Each structure stands twice: as C-alpha cells, then as structure tokens.
Amino acid sequence: MTTTRRGWVAFVLVVLVALVGSGCTVIPLSGPNTLSEPGTGDPLTKPFQRMIALPPQPTWGPEEVIKGLQAAMAAYADDPTILPQYLTPEARSKWSPSGPVTVIEDAYDFAYPSERDGTQTVQKITVKGRWAASIKEDDAYVPTGGAWDRSFELVKVADGGYRVSSLPTGLGLLLTNSDVARAYRATNLYYVSGNTPDRLVVDRVRLRLKPTKSFAQIILERLLEQPTSALQGGAVTSSFPQGTKVEYVVWREERVVVNLSRPLDPLDPSAKAAVKAQIRYSLNMNEVAKGRTIDIQVDGEPYSLDQPDTDDQWLEDGDADPYFVSRGAIQYLGKDGPAGTVPGPAGQERTGYRDFALSKDNNALVAARTSTGISVAGLTQAGQWQEVIQGDLTAPSWHRDGSLWTFDRKNGAALRYDPAGGRGPERVEAEVKLQGLDVTRLRIARDGVRVVLSIGENTVQICALAGNGAGAKLVNFQSLATTGEGERIIDLAWADDEHLLMLVESDAGQILNQINVGDGETVGVPLKDRLQSLAGSGDRVLAWSRTGSGADIKSKIVELNQDRQTWTPKVESDASTPLFPLG
C-alpha cells in the first residue's frame, strides 16, 4: 500500500540577512521567516538571505528529518557542520557535496512504500517533486523538467529520532527554487571571442553569494576560471594569464579599485584592452560598479583605468538599420515606414527568391534562397545576383567575418562560403554526426560564436563555433528547447547575442518565446496577429504579420513596443520578411 501526504511541517529555521560590510541581523527562532532585501549603498555588494538550519531533533518524524536535511543542504556552503548530523556514519562516508546541484520546485510530497505503524527500525520514504534545474560544477544553470522521485532510507537512533542511512544514488546537494533565488544570482561573464579577438562573448552562470566576499569579487574570481562547457574547446579565450588572482576589490570615493596579481604584463597593450573589457562588462552588466571608474591595478601598481561610458565596441551596439522585403525587393525601413529600396538588383521586384539575409553594413551583401540553391548580390548599382551554393539548403546566415553559412540537407553538413576568398563552399567540421538529422534552420549569432540549429519541427540545439575560416568547427552541442505535442517551430531569430526568438504554432494558436541561451530562461511575448517570420536586433523586434484570406489578406510589418506587450504596424501592406544585418 502506498500513501501520500502533502504539507509543510514547521521545523525551526533561522534566516540571516548577510550584507558584506554592514553586519548581520538574526531573526528570532519562530520561523519560517521571509525578509526583504535591503540595500547597503555599496555598489559592489548584493544583499541576500542566508538560511541557517538546525540539527535533527528527537521528536521529528521521517518527513521532518528529510525537510531538515534539505534545509541543511541549502545552508551547506555557509555552514557544512549541520548536514553530517542528519546522516549515519555509513551514509556520511558515501555522500559528497560535489557534482551538480539538483534544483526542484518548492512544493514536494512524501510517499511511503508500505503501511506505517511507527515501530519500524528502518523507514523508507520517497520524495515526490518536480525537477526544475541542475547547477553544474562549472556554474552553468540547466533547466530540467519532469518528475523528480527519489527514495531515502532512515533508521531510528538511541534518542528516538531518525537519521538518514541511505540517500539516492549520485545525489549531492538538493535545493529548491526558493533556495536558489535566495542565495544565487544569475551572472553574465564576458570572454574574448575565439574567432574575433576584438569582441566579447557572454557566458551566463549562477553564482552563489557569500557573506565574506563582495559580489564584485565573486564575479571576478569566477571570471579568472574557464568558461562553462558551452564555450570551451576554443570558442572563447581569456585575456588573463594562468595564475592571475584577485587580491581585492574595494570601493573608494566613487572609484572601484580592482587589484590583481601578476603574471599580467603591463606592457602588452592588446592584452590590457581585453583585460579592461572583460572586467568592465562582467561588473557593469551585472549592475555592479556601473557608471563608476574602474581602477585596475597589478600588485598595487597602476595597470589600466576604465572610465564610465567609454564606447569601445566590444559588444554589439544593437542599433542596426532595419529592412524589409516587398514583392521580392528589399527596402529600407524608416522610423515612420518604408524609406526607399536598396540599390542594385536586390531592390528590384522579383519572384523565386526567399529567406533573404544581410551581411554586416560595411560592403553589405544580400543572400537569398532559390529553388536550386543560394544566390548572393551586392547592395550596389553594379551588383548582380550570382548563385554561390547549390543543393537542398536551409536559409542563409551571415557570420560577422563576412562568410555565408547554410546547411546541406542532402549531404548532412554545414557549409561555409567566403565571398572574399572566391572559393566554392567548404564543409564545416562538427564534433557530432549531423548526417541523417532533419536540420531545418541554421542561425549564427552576431557574436560569431553561438550557432543554433532547428531539428525537424520540434527541437532546437545550440552549439559553438571554434576556430577561424576554413578551420572552423562546430562544438559543444546541447539541447536548448523542445516544443510540446502538437506544436511546431515556425521561425527562429537572434534578438541579440544572448537571446533567441522562437515562434511556435499549434492548433490553439501561436506562442512567441524569448529564450536566454545561457540558462534557458524563457519569457513569453504576447501576440495579436498571426506571424510568419521574425527579426531582432538589440531591443528591437520586427515581425511579418499575415492575416485574412483571399482578396482580404493583409501582409504587414509590425514592431514590438518597449512595453514588450503590444505591437505597432510599421508597414501596412505588400510587406513580407523583416531583416536586420546578421542574426
């Protein structure tokens, strides 16, 4: 017989608000308690709530002990002495806090595999919850859905209480969503692109706050380590030589002082610029030290001074000009609507060309898919359409280095064509077998490193691009999104280096999601009209809306407003695909 009980037993917890440099406040033992997060005025610090768990009590039953054990796991990083008290000596010898952190939803139940009469020496109990995510050892946050059902075994001890004698195989730390929200912060770290050395690539992690260190120091210490597995293998590099350490980070009269240790070379100007950029964006993009001068020192000696609001183009500026297609001709999109056609053949009305893509603004080229392959033309009066890749291909996508990418569906390979090199398309090596996969889209992010592929109508995978030119390789394949039953992906577009737009359709209608490719965080965007395709750049999102039927079809371009809730028509008729350079 199996029974299930729901409910929270009020065992005693103490919540401590830890604020670096401002002391602490202990809440009386009446728990559980919820505290607001007061600010300290220190730009280097993030206030947080810290849980303090109690040892197991003789009067607690199996459920209270499991809840106390879970609380001790949440508090383990700050106080590792409580958790072992919940375990028998044998369980302590087998358990390790290393490995991924398991995150489940806050509410969970208990189930007993047999009838309880309160006299058993050994009690088995199953925790039944919903799996929310894993936090990997490299601090990557990976959303994970589905049921999380795991069994524990407890034994009675001399004082009448219980201890855990057996934990689920491979379980390290078990946290709830609330534990993660209380003690961790989603953090963007910035590394140097492996194929464009004057560009930064964002790497999103979850970092645990610590009462003994400022958030700024936590960020920089993690920045000196390797990126997450998604960006390893040459996709990005670091400007910090191995062995560099953070000596201290302090706030002095509106100036943030970062003191590092050697072996940084103060005479290497290119390395100095990259060091400054990595530190600036890793602090500022996490709302730490934003708007303040950052004084970077090495062993206490001046190294580099980063002034606020310096525009050095290490990241995409997000203000690319928008375009759209009307009757096969590419037109400029102005503030109030159409603003003229582009020069050359790309600005002339034609049929048989679709899935247009624009390269970077300088020496811009346009690519389009036809029934036989992909053709390219220059945006000049002298430009001519020329077929450069033949075959059954996905829509073209431009890399920021000027190369054109697509996927050869017949031969199962990513292809790269360099217009400047004058050579035919080259097959791109991949660390996984792509042949036989139903790849329907390939999109390169504007950072030139991340690549997404849609597989069939329901799955999106993300990978990274390592190496340059003909030596490029697709590495670190991971699943990013899967649609539900009866749903299919209509379009994918990069909004910026960090976010992907995914348009999904089912019999019930359409859904537009914005996905953070670093941690899978998904935000829904409300829709009014039926959409056909998307384009994004920075804060701007454009879409092709096609409504009605027959003679009443209305085909227009709409733009998502800053409220991220409503859309405004930009082109009222005869419009189709919106475009931004790259993406």
Count of CB atoms within 10 A of residue 122's CB? 11
The token duo for 107 is 């509410």
Is a pLDDT exceeding 80 seen at residue 22? no
Per DSSP, the three-state class of 345 is: helix
Look at residue 312 in the predicted model and tell me its pLDDT.
74
Q: Give the whole-angstrom CA distance, residue 180 versus residue 329.
A: 50
Say what the pLDDT of residue 41 is: 62
Tell me how far apart the alpha carbons of residues 366 and 376 are, in angstroms, rounded to a whole number: 6
312 C-beta neighbours (distance < 10 Å), count: 11
One-letter amino acid for residue 154 of the chain = L
Q: Residue 357 and residue 368: Cα distance in Å, rounded?
A: 6
C-alpha 59, offset from chain centre: 44
> Which residues sit opposite 152 in a β-bridge?
125
Phi, psi of 424 (to 5 degrees): -65, 175
The answer on pLDDT for 451 being more than 60 is: yes
The model's pLDDT over 411-437, given as tens digits with 9 standing for 90+, comes to 999 999 999 877 789 999 999 999 999
Return the residue matching tokens 């053709």: 375
pLDDT in tens, 206-264: 999 998 899 999 999 999 999 999 999 999 999 999 999 999 999 988 899 999 998 88
CA-CA-CA-CA torsion sign (236, 242, 248, 254): negative
3-state secondary structure of 469: helix
Is the model's pLDDT at 338 over the cut of 80? yes
Q: Which two tokens stand for residue 104?
A: 């489940």
pLDDT score of 117? 58
- Is 95's pLDDT higher than 70? yes
At residue 182, the pLDDT reads: 93
The strand order across the sheet containing 236-237 reads: 200-208, 184-193, 236-237
Residue listed under structure tokens 């899967």: 482
Q: What are the backbone dihedrals phi and psi of residue 284, each rounded to the nearest 5 degrees, phi first?
A: -70, -40
- CA atoms of 246 and 267, how far apart (whole Å): 20
Quick: pLDDT tens for 260-301: 998 888 888 888 999 999 999 999 999 998 889 999 999 999
Q: Name the packing angle between helices 215-223 and 269-284 (round to 10°).
A: 140
Q: CA 120, 121, 122, 128 torsion: positive or negative?
A: positive
Mean per-residue pLDDT, 473-482: 96
| Integer angstrom CA distances of residue 555 from 182, 364, 533, 537 | 47, 27, 12, 22
Q: Is the pLDDT of residue 11 over 70?
A: no
Of 462, 500, 455, 457, give the one whose Cα is nearest residue 479: 462
Q: Give CA 187 to chain center in angstroms.
A: 10
Mean pLDDT of the chain: 89
Preceding peptide of 32 cis, ω within 30°: yes
Tokens representing 143 are: 């959303």
* Tokens 């019999």 found at: 507
Residue 39's pLDDT is what?
Answer: 46
- Taking residues 163-183, what's their average pLDDT? 96
Is the CB of residue 376 less than 8 Å from the CB of residue 365? yes
DSSP letter for each residue of 169-211:
TT---EEEHHHHHHHEEEEEEEEEESS-TT-EEEEEEEEE--T
From the list 66, 31, 15, the residue with the least C-alpha distance to 179 is: 15
Q: Tell me the whole-structure pTM to 2 decimals.
A: 0.90
How close are the terminal C-alpha atoms of the chain, in Å? 57
In this predicted structure, what is the pLDDT of residue 19?
Answer: 33
Digit-coded pLDDT (tens) for 102-132: 999 999 999 998 666 556 678 999 999 999 9
**Across 139-143, 409-413, 468-472, 512-516, least confident range:** 468-472
**Average pLDDT estimate for 42-60:** 85
Neighbouring CB atoms inside 10 A of 521's CB total: 14
Measure the CA–CA gap between 372 and 395, rounded to whole angstroms.
Answer: 12
Residue 48's pLDDT band (boundaries 50, 70, 90)?
Answer: confident
Beta bridge partners of 186: 206
Share of the chain above pLDDT 90, in %: 75
Q: What is the pLDDT of residue 121?
A: 77
Contact between 416 and 404 under an 8 Å Cβ cutoff? The reply is yes
CB contact at 8 A, 35 and 27 = yes
Q: Which two tokens stand for residue 297?
A: 């020192």
Most confidently modeled of 3-7, 225-229, 357-361? Answer: 225-229
Residues 511-559: tens digit of each pLDDT: 999 999 999 999 999 998 999 999 999 889 999 998 877 777 889 999 9
Question: Could you tell me if 212 and 20 are in contact, meaning their C-beta atoms sit under 8 angstroms apart?
Answer: yes
Contacts of residue 1, defined as CB under 8 A and 6 or more positions apart, other chains included, come to 114, 115
Residue located via tokens 């004082």: 159
Rounded to an integer, what distance in angstroms lies between the CA atom of residue 469 and that of residue 463? 17
Cβ distance 16 to 33 under 8 Å?
A: no
Give the ranges where 384-454 is alpha helix by DSSP (H).
none
**pLDDT higher than threshold 70 for residue 32:** no
Q: What is the pLDDT of residue 207?
A: 97
Q: How many residues does the chain have?
A: 583
